Structures are given as C-alpha cells and as structure tokens.
Amino acid sequence: MIRMKLIFPVFILLFWGCEKKIDVDLNETNPVIVIEGTLSDNPNLACVKISNTTSYYSSEPAEMLAGATVKITDEEGREFELIENNGQYLNNSIIPDANCQYRLSVTMGENVYESVSKMHRTVFIDSMAVALNEDYSVFQEGYNVYLYFHDPPGENNYYRLKMFLNGEEEDAPEDFIFFDDNNTNGKFVELRIRRKTYEVGDTVTYQLQTLDKAAYEYFSAVSELIDENSAVSASPANPNPNFSNGALGYFSAYSCDEKTIVIQSKIKSLK
C-alpha cells in the first residue's frame, strides 16, 4: 500500500513553527486490563503479558499482573495452560498448525477475557542483499538491506517486519512496521527500509512475520497512534480491541522466518 505522508505541512512548518513542552491536566480513569498474547511457530512459544493502563504521566513502567489463569485452546479442543514466570505466562509445548485457529482465554478473578487468532502458513524469505545508496533528498548515504520474498498468490497476506541490529531488536516507534499485499499480491517482493542505513561490520537480522487480519489491523491502528507524524489526526481513538469483555490488547498467532546478513564493504548486491 502506498502511504501518503503529509510532507507539505512539515515543509511549511519548518519555516515558522515553534514547539514547547506544556502542562496539560488530564483526567484520571479507572485502570483497564491490557493483554498481549502471542503464539509463534519459530521458535514454538506462547507468551502472554497482563497489565493495567496507568495514569498518562506516570513514569513507572506498567506493572505485570500475576494470578491469572491463562489457557490456549486449539481447534480440536486441546487445552494448554500457560505458566506464570516472572510476570509472563509461557508455554513452549504448543506446536502450531498452519491454518488453525487458536483461542486464548484469560481468567482474572471473576472476569474472563477471550480472543482468537489464526496461524498463517509461513512465508519464507527468499534472500537478502546489501547495496550502498547515495545521499538522496531526506535520506542519508549508507548501506541499505534488501529483503526478497514471494507473496503467495490468491490470498490476502499481512506482514510484520522486525529488525535486529547486532542482536538487539530495533524498537523505536518508527520501527514498528506492518504492511499488506494489497498492491503486491502474488508478486516477488523487494522490501527495503530506505531510512535504515547500516555501517560496515553491522550484523542485520530481518524477521518476516505473517499475521492474521485481526492482529494486523490492531497493530496498524497502534502504529498510527504512536507515529510521531500523526498529530494531525483529528480524532484519535483506541484501536478496536481483539478481546471480549473490554480488555485492551491483542492475541496474535503468527508464523515467521528470519535471515541475517553482515554488511561488508564493496558488496553491491547478493541478489
């Protein structure tokens, strides 16, 4: 999907704008439960984190809630319990099947929160490449990493790209990247994040996750909210939750594949 970023307001604002930190009184609200659940096939791991919303200006990280009963059920009715460990609920014995739907249920006191997610078959990365791109408009000169894969034809696919630099996940707001195959269905896709430039010697890992539609829509809505440029949105709203009973958050079963490349000088292309 080609996204239209509003370049002009930025262009104009550069001339005259000024920015300052201000105090805005915000209402306090009752905490709402937030559930983050993932089920991955590579490695096999189910992980659930439970927390509450906090006051907007609180400087503490959200406290992870213990004491919940967390279960994942597959289509055949097999139940797997996730065991609490250090604020997370984990289970590494579920071997996910492609095209199967999984149900997550979280019981916290009297309340039960449920969500379903479908595991998609893995879309494998074909290859990776590196090229040196010259300085160009807002982009700096540097090495870019290219990722190639075949988008499966005849179906809608939803992807997430996770990037790791020298083993560290890149977690800046703008590195929260999601895309679909609306414009590339069934094609051989080249993906490059132009603004991401690397130095010689960097080890770069790109992970391609294949999500289900509901999780993709949830993450896309979140990425709009955390996008620094979205301040022009007239009416921000909470992403539609994936859970029953008013819990915030998502449950995402996903398949993934990753490849690693080391940036070397004089490499033009590994294609």
Distance, CA of 50 to CA of 53 (rounded, Å) = 10
Nearer to other proteins, 30 or 93 (CB): 30
Nearer to other proteins, 11 or 95 (CB): 11
What is the footprint of other proteins within residues 205-224 (CB under 8 A)? 217, 219-222, 224
Q: Is 161 exposed, middle or buried (0-12, 13-18, 19+ CB in 10 A)?
A: middle
262 contacts other proteins (rule: CB under 8 A): no
Binding test (CB under 8 A) with other proteins, winner from 140, 190, 203, 245: 190
Nearer to other proteins, 81 or 190 (CB): 190
Q: Which two tokens stand for residue 80?
A: 């797997």
What is the footprint of other proteins within residues 2-21 (CB under 8 A)? 2, 4, 6-9, 11-13, 16-21
184 contacts other proteins (rule: CB under 8 A): yes
132 contacts other proteins (rule: CB under 8 A): no
Nearest distance from C-beta of residue 79 to other proteins, angstroms: 26
Sheet holding 188-192, edge to edge: 125-133, 142-150, 188-192
Beta carbons within 8 Å of 190's beta carbon, 6+ residues apart: 146, 147, 148
Nearer to other proteins, 28 or 110 (CB): 28
Closest by CA position to 53, among listed 184, 263, 247: 247
Distance, CA of 211 to CA of 117 (rounded, Å) = 9
Nearer to other proteins, 2 or 83 (CB): 2
Closest by CA position to 191, among listed 120, 254, 123: 123
Distance, CA of 181 to CA of 158 (rounded, Å) = 7
Nearest distance from C-beta of residue 62 to other proteins, angstroms: 5
Number of residues assigned to the chain: 271
Distance, CA of 48 to CA of 89 (rounded, Å) = 5
| Cβ-count burial 40-66 (b if 16+ within 10 Å, e if not) | bbeeeebbbbbbeeeeeeeeeeeeebe
What is the footprint of other proteins within residues 31-90 (CB under 8 A)? 31-32, 34, 36, 51-59, 61-62
Nearer to other proteins, 91 or 220 (CB): 220
Find the part of the chain contacting other proteins (CB under 8 A) among 40-48, 75-83, 107-115, 181-189. Answer: 181-189
250 contacts other proteins (rule: CB under 8 A): yes
Closest by CA position to 86, among listed 42, 49, 39, 61: 49
Binding test (CB under 8 A) with other proteins, winner from 43, 137, 168, 266: 137
Nearest distance from C-beta of residue 78 to other proteins, angstroms: 28
168 contacts other proteins (rule: CB under 8 A): no
Task: Quickly tell me which residue has 């800046």 as its tokens.
Answer: 172
Binding test (CB under 8 A) with other proteins, winner from 163, 189, 211, 263: 189
Q: Which two tokens stand for residue 56?
A: 């907007």
Nearest distance from C-beta of residue 171 to other proteins, angstroms: 5
Nearer to other proteins, 66 or 226 (CB): 226
